Structure 1
Amino acid sequence: MTETRILTLVGSLRAGSINRRLAETAAQTAPAGVDIALYEGLAEIPFYNEDLDVPGSVPAQAEALRAAVAAADAVLLVTPEYNGTLPAVLKNAIDWASRPYGAGAVKGKPVAVVSASISPRAAEWAHGDAVKAVGVAGGVVVESAHARFGTIGERFGEIHPAQDAEALTQLGATVHELVAAANGTLVTA
């Protein structure tokens, strides 16, 4: 059996962010035969600019992201909410992965969104914006795989999400649904 590869893009650049810890926890829930990799280097990718997106001169950091997305069977986005929307670094990653138009690395890839914030609304605006952006970019949004976490400062301030049984269950379900979508076995109603 071929290994299923899920690439995770985390919208918070802070090393100790709760969003990063949620991504790490999702990776821990991966069953045998599933590899979940957290992409490193989103901060080094220049903002998308068509003047830079020219064959033969695309920045190496953007090419690396495109190659990682292309090599993945599915993509997991983990986003905080900054000023009512998703972080620029995550939107920038979606923009680079969406090009060239109609044939970007994310086109046709199953994508799930995990959102988390300190508010009880669980980053609903960032979540919605991430879903919209990746859908417009050509990703296949797997709504049944989404997860949202609110009041994360209180909930995960003292413990890692991996120590929270409910978070483990939710993230495990996210991974399960994303894997099923990647393998073409997702059952929809």
Structure 2
Amino acid sequence: MKRRINYYQDLAANYSKPGLVSPELAEKLIFEAEKFISLKEDNFPAITPDYPLEQIEQENKAWWPTHCEALRQGRGDILTGEYRQDLVYFCQDGPYYGLEEQKEREQHWWALIAQPGVTMCWPIVMFHGEFVWFEWNCLDNATNETIAKGSVAWLRRGHRGGCYLKGEQLTFYRDVFAPNELLKLMTTAK
């Protein structure tokens, strides 16, 4: 039988289920998320001996918990900042090209999965160079029902490049468009 692994064993925080991240660590991760976004370069960085895939993978592993915390806190400004301007986003409502096409649709998804009383979790995350693949689910804190789930593949060129390609399969079990009161809870991009 194949050995099961803890996908978070070498990461700064474990987002596989609710209740594993202290408020102090969450605050630190938001600070780091803002720092990582500031490192993104205007010109897309090449993979070179000075910026090898091994370094990119380590940067993606450092980034991952900050991404999870930004989603849990509804920080749309951080989430948008993780993308390159020329993002390619494949999903069942897409494809979307650039940051403007997906903005209207994605804000509803973010508002639903970050709503009060719901905790988003990522039980599986894997890294390979600039490739990040993960599964997620959103749990209702009162009923324990899964309200949404999905699997996602990101191509992220580390801190210097950010996410340039995203492919996602999403399934929502209740609600598809967020009501205005949830949309207002999302921090908007600056």
Using the size of structure 2 for normalisation, the TM-score is 0.29
- Which protein is richer in strand relative to its size? 2
- Which protein is richer in helix relative to its size? 1
Using the size of structure 1 for normalisation, the TM-score is 0.29
